[in-house]
Amino acid sequence: MVAMAGFIGRASEVAELRSAVDEAAAGRGGLVLLAGEPGIGKTRLAEEACHYAIAAGAAVVWGRCVELEGTPAYWPWIQVLRGIAQNAEHALRGRELGDMAREISRLVPEFGSGNGLIVRAPVDAGDRFRLFDAVSRLLRLVARTRNVVAVLDDLQWCDAASLALLRHLSRDVHDFGLLVVAVYRDLEIGRRHPLAAALPELSRERGARRLEVKGFGVDDVGRYLLAACGSVERGLVSSVHEQTGGNPLFVAELARLLQDEGELRQGALPQGVREVIGRRLDVLSGECKRVLEVASVLGRDFELELLCETARLPVPRVLEIIDEAVGAAFANPLRHQPGRYGFVHDLVRETLYQELPTPIRVQLHQGAAESLERRPGGGELAAPGPPLVPGGAGRRLGQGGLLCGAGRGAGDGQAGVRGGGSPIPDGTGQSLWPTGGGAPPLPAADRPG
């Protein structure tokens, strides 16, 4: 059994959140936008700030968005207002709430007489404004006796009406004791997501700050493993850090595996990790995902040209596709190594790699090995070259992870198998890119998902 680790690291983020809590306590409220990838520790960080706020006497209320059909409009705010009704009840007792209560009771009956009130969301703009104004006045009233921290978690699943209320409140929080902590997965906010449109405005409001939660550094990974598993070797810490990018959820999953199996085997990807990464990969276009699957065969770092050859796609197209992957934070161009890219962490590569059906994986290994063999030096390790241009002459080629063997290379040692490669089918039985001979694409039924 893995011990639950106490709160680790995050000194600067915690300091920033505490300062926002202190400011709110002094009557200068604000909005903290807490962003980061799934499992990176956003909620845990918000909880840490809440412990501090509670100790300082604040009323802390949470509203969690959910990804569930049928969730009512304003759901996170309904939870916040219910929390206010319970948490800050003494601040409201004996007050004449009048029309404020009437408006709010449309969402949260506790604010009305409680006798059979019909919950009815606003129907037009005027109606909506009255509701927003009532919520704002209520929070202001509560904050006079006790400042309020409202955490809205998982805003990537927020409905548009809740976002509109958040925008309304964010315009005037700076002059009363309300701190809103808005937590969201930034990588799941596509351009057409309602939160994407709201974020620029929200972050410009007075008293707004944005905190991006990043992976643990290697020392914090070491602290985590130590707390979870007892003693750990330095080499193992570096390896877990490298594989997980310091994502605490992934570190925790690997720690569990380490406890159960006594070692970390290549390819033994914990289910929790696979699910989280798999869900994230779903935001990519099908073509981008397929190209990344090809790249997963080449290793943790891969060379653009080898990727193009193995995927049988022209360089400009692959560059576009890789841009999508970089934008979604799955891969990065390697610094000082033009023409080379790397997966953000090895668990992403491994997830993609494991999603490939074995026959296709073998074909891709073959294709890549043949490309390398055709090169001057027959696939010997070469120094990274200059930027690659389509059909450019005098190209120098870096080596993918394919033939590098253990560690950052491909997972099943198939690289040296000889034979014809074939492009990956797109799940419809058609090739995603033009075939250039070799084995025929697999039928759709052989592709997972």
Ligand X SMILES: Nc1ncnc2c1ncn2[C@@H]1O[C@H](COP(=O)(O)OP(=O)(O)OP(=O)(O)O)[C@@H](O)[C@H]1O
Query: Is 43 near Mg ion (CB under 5 A)?
Result: yes
Query: Is 36 near ligand X (CB under 6 A)?
Result: yes
Query: Is 435 near Mg ion (CB under 5 A)?
Result: no
Q: Nearest residue to ligand X, using CB?
A: 41
Query: In this complex, which beta carbon is closest to ligand X, that of residue 9 or of residue 76?
Result: 9
Specify the pairing of strand 301-303 against strand 148-153: unpaired
Query: Is 8 near ligand X (CB under 6 A)?
Result: yes
Rounded CA-CA distance 20/425 in Å is 52
In whole angstroms, the minimum distance from the beta carbon of 181 to ligand X comes to 12
Query: In this complex, which beta carbon is closest to ligand X, that of residue 259 or of residue 435?
Result: 259
Structure tokens at 183: 């937590």
Start-to-end CA distance of the chain, whole Å, equals 33
Structure tokens at 47: 């909880």
- The site partner of 367 among ligand X, Mg ion, none (C-beta below 5 to 8 Å per kind) is none
- Give the H or E element holding residue 333: strand 331-333
Query: In this complex, which beta carbon is closest to ligand X, that of residue 270 or of residue 438?
Result: 270
State the Cα angle at 18 between 64 and 196, rounded to 5°: 45
- Say if residues 62 and 148 touch (Cβ distance below 8 Å): no
Q: Residue from 29, 38, 76, 122 that binds ligand X (CB under 6 A)?
A: 38
Q: List binders of ligand X among 235-294 (CB under 6 A).
A: 248-249, 252
- Give the H or E element holding residue 359: helix 358-373
Query: Is 43 near ligand X (CB under 6 A)?
Result: yes
Query: In this complex, which beta carbon is closest to ligand X, that of residue 247 or of residue 310?
Result: 247
Sign of CA dihedral 138, 78, 84, 143: negative
Q: Residue 386, Cβ neighbours under 10 Å: how many?
A: 11
Query: Is 39 near ligand X (CB under 6 A)?
Result: yes
Q: Residue from 18, 28, 44, 375 that binds ligand X (CB under 6 A)?
A: 44
What string marks each residue from 170 to 209 as x (binds ligand X by CB under 6 A) or -?
---------------x------------------------
Rounded CA-CA distance 182/51 in Å is 17
- The site partner of 301 among ligand X, Mg ion, none (C-beta below 5 to 8 Å per kind) is none
- Give the H or E element holding residue 55: helix 42-55
- Say if residues 370 and 424 touch (Cβ distance below 8 Å): no
Q: List binders of ligand X among 320-379 (CB under 6 A).
A: none
As beta bridge partners, residue 35 has 184, 212
What string marks each residue from 142 to 161 as x (binds ligand X by CB under 6 A) or -?
------------x-------
What residue has token string 């043949």?
A: 370
The piece of 38-46, 133-141, 201-209, 431-439 that touches ligand X (CB under 6 A) is 38-46
> Residue 398, Cα to own-chain centre: how many angstroms?
31
The piece of 32-40, 55-63, 201-209, 333-341 that touches ligand X (CB under 6 A) is 32-40
Tell me which residues touch Mg ion (CB under 5 A).
43
Q: What are the residues binding ligand X (CB under 6 A)?
A: 5, 7-10, 36, 38-44, 154, 185, 248-249, 252
